Amino acid sequence: MCDGIVIINKPRGLTSHDVVYKIKKLAKKKVGHTGTLDPIATGVLPICIGEATKISQFIISQDKKYLAEIKFGIRTDSFDITGNVLEEKKFIYDEKKILACINNFVGEYLQEVPIFSAVKFMGKKLYEFARAKIDVELKKRLAKIYEIKFIKFVAPDKIWIEVKCAKGVYIRSLCNDIGNFYGCGACLNNLIRIEAGKFLIGESISLNRFEFLFENNLLDKKIIKIDRALDFKKVIVSDVAKKFLYNGNKIDVKFVLGDEKFFDKEKFLVYDENKKLIGIYVRQENFLQPIRMFSGVN
């Protein structure tokens, strides 16, 4: 099996780490995910295998798109349906009010981080305080939401919305905030991640399908190579620079072949003259400085 990215459609009930463990057990290579999905969530979970684990930080930083089902009239401590109920109120459906409510959260706003999350506070993860029933002041951080679309109403108390957002947005928190703004409380009932950067749910496979393809030596057809997973420019460095190229040293820009223009501090993929991927570099003045080096990647 070659190194690269495989897009898993995460099933409900498993953590992202559960998925990593199952794939690592089969692949017997280094494996990592690119952005946590809660157990309640399903959908796009890009999994990095082998050398591709070195690019996870670049994939995590990409925008996301979700389908979320919001249940009104209930608030929970986890901001989703799996949590303990804190309050219940009557919900009266008003589509105009719903539309005005969800549009209020398009743009940037300070979002409360859920207490049941892996965000660290005083050296510990927030969920550790929650499980120990220790009250802490919940952090707020900037959430960037590009678009929220109303999809449909599901009687008697649920709606589906589509959310396009930047990294780090908690959809659970968004549902809780929408419910508070509406006036009766709400929580996340279902969540499907349909896009993570350039990775789409239509290209994803189930864990069972992954296992079948792996056992039948067919998985390489579903592996996305490292350079296809990144939208960086590509440059080739001449063989004259070999002694610098394979040792992780910076390289003078004069060794770059062709007339590709790139700017100071811009990231790009560097190949040798045999079109072998060497690494991710950044231009710093007149030099190419390596950020990530790859071995055995074609």
pLDDT in tens, 13-31: 999 999 999 999 999 999 9
Same-domain pairing of 217 and 70: no
Residue in 3, 18, 38, 252 annotated catalytic: 38
Token pair for 227:
């350079």
| Mean of pLDDT over the chain | 90
Percentage of the chain beyond pLDDT 90 is 63
Average of per-residue pLDDT across 59-84? 95
Domain around 97? 64-193
Q: Rounded distance, CA 208 to CA 214, Å? A: 10
Lowest mean pLDDT among 215-224, 258-267, 286-295: 258-267
CATH number for the domain that contains residue 285:
2.30.130.10
Q: What is the pLDDT of residues 127-164, one digit of tens each?
A: 666 566 666 677 788 999 999 999 999 999 999 999 99
Number of other CB atoms surrounding residue 12 within 10 Å: 14
Q: How confident is the model at residue 52 (pLDDT cuts 50, 70, 90)?
A: very high
- 38 belongs to the catalytic site: yes
Residue 88 falls within a domain, yes or no?
yes
Using CB atoms within 10 A of its CB, is residue 253 exposed (0-12), middle (13-18) or buried (19+)? middle
Same-domain pairing of 75 and 157: yes
Residue 276 has pLDDT above 70, yes or no: yes
CB 144 within 8 A of CB 169: yes
Lowest mean pLDDT among 67-81, 102-116, 120-134, 182-196: 120-134
Q: Rounded distance, CA 185 to CA 33, Å? A: 32
Residue 81 falls within a domain, yes or no?
yes
Residue whose token pair is 């490292």? 226
Q: What is the pLDDT of residues 245-264, one digit of tens each?
A: 777 888 888 888 887 777 78
Same-domain pairing of 56 and 111: no
pLDDT for residue 192: 98
Same-domain pairing of 75 and 187: yes
CATH number for the domain that contains residue 115:
3.30.2350.10
Q: How confident is the model at residue 207 (pLDDT cuts 50, 70, 90)?
A: very high
